[in-house]
Amino acid sequence: MRMFAGLSVAFLAMCLFPSTERRANIPPVLPNSPFDHYGNVCWEDEQARLDSFAIALSNSSTATGQIVVYAGRLACRDEAKYRGTRAKNYVIKRAGLDPRRIEFKDGGFAREVDTYLIVKPKGASDYDVPESLSKDEVSIKRCFDKVFAKVMCLNKR
């Protein structure tokens, strides 16, 4: 017991009984900020980001998730819809979440493909996503076989 003589009771309690918040590997979600944000990444890299998003949603029974996807200024028809639906379905399946807890929004168009993953705590205001480009700044083409979904990971080439 002599080795504990100089330590405070509060310090000992903190060491012996760490809070669950300190054990979590997921950083706290700041109000009105995206959980994650990424561009045109390969599917394997996107899955890793979506896994973290699913864990964050699973850690809070009251939070809801939003997936906002922007197609690039050179885009395939329905690209944002395809990417967002694919991400939403992956998160629901991976975490076993109620589909009503995750919302997909088509953000329109940005200079490059852009995806925002947002964890919205209960009662928090919506995240202000960037505005879309105007239609005269965008070139939409008809793509076959979802070519935009086949971004190769560097380690797969």
Average pLDDT of the segment spanning 58-74: 92
What the block records as the tokens of 106 is 């088509």
CATH ID of 28-123, from 3.30.1330.60, 3.20.20.10, 3.60.20.30, 3.40.50.1820 = 3.30.1330.60
Q: Which tens digit of pLDDT belongs to each residue from 92-116?
A: 999 999 999 999 999 999 999 999 9
pLDDT-derived band at 150 (thresholds 50, 70, 90) equals low
Half-sphere exposure of 59 (CA within 13 A, CB side): 18
CB 104 within 8 A of CB 115: no
pLDDT of residue 155: 61
Q: Which tens digit of pLDDT belongs to each residue from 3-19?
A: 444 444 444 344 444 44
- The Cα diameter of the chain in Å comes to 76
Helix axes 43-58, 79-95, angle to 10 degrees: 50
CB 38 within 8 A of CB 83: no
Q: What percent of the chain is modeled with pLDDT above 70?
A: 70
pLDDT of residue 15: 45
Task: Please indicate whether residue 144 or residue 109 has the higher confidence score (pLDDT).
Answer: 109
